Amino acid sequence: MRPRSPEVRKQDVLKRLDEDVDAWVSTSSADGTPYLMPLSFLWDGETLLFSTAASNPTSLNLQSNGLAHVALDHTRDVVIFSATAETLHVDDLPPGAADTFALKTGFDPRRATALYLYFRLTPTTLQSWQEANELPGRTLMKNNTWLV
């Protein structure tokens, strides 16, 4: 398979962010203990919106340090990025965002019995590749800026 151009990789990444529903979110506690959790997300064109119970480790880690690594789920079509996280309550969301999140993910945190928080993750560095021949040039975003 021939390597994709950076422009095609970016188009493929944006399509996956629009169409995929779930991602792996990796965080760490203050003492460095790693935690990995699959979560559903909504992409708004610049950020990803996740929601999880306020008391679970992912939530606590994001509230404490605001950093995460996120990966979409295909090992032969890698999309992986570092992100900063902003903690939001449902009332902090833009109008319609909670409804759109629930529609896309099939889960409405507002209906849960436990308190759920939302997290807006902003990618800072993003990489994408399919095979070893795409490792050169795999970084498509750096310092919150698309390179292509």
Domain with residue 141: its CATH number is 2.30.110.10
Q: From CA 126, how far away is CA 80, in angstroms rounded? A: 6
Residue 45 near residue 98, CB atoms below 8 Å: no
Mean pLDDT of 16-41: 97
Confidence of residue 110 (pLDDT cuts 50, 70, 90): very high
One DSSP character per residue, 41-68 reads EEE-SS-EEEEEETTSHHHHHHHHH-EE
**Domain count across the chain:** 1
Q: From CA 119, how far away is CA 101, in angstroms rounded? A: 12
DSSP state of 95: T
Q: From CA 59, how far away is CA 119, in angstroms rounded? A: 8
Mean pLDDT of 29-44: 97
On average, the pLDDT of the chain sits at 96
Confidence of residue 23 (pLDDT cuts 50, 70, 90): very high
Q: In the chain, what percentage of residues exceed pLDDT 70?
A: 100
Residues 6+ apart with CB under 8 A from 73: 20, 22, 23, 24, 38
Residue 37 lies in a domain: yes
Residue 68, pLDDT score: 98
Residue 24 lies in a domain: yes
Residue 1, pLDDT score: 83
Mean pLDDT of 7-35: 97
Range of the domain at 63: 6-146
* Position 74 pLDDT exceeds 90: no
Residue 95 lies in a domain: yes
Residue 1 lies in a domain: no
Question: Lowest-pLDDT range, 11-15, 74-78, 108-112, 132-136?
Answer: 74-78
Q: From CA 32, how far away is CA 79, in angstroms rounded? A: 24
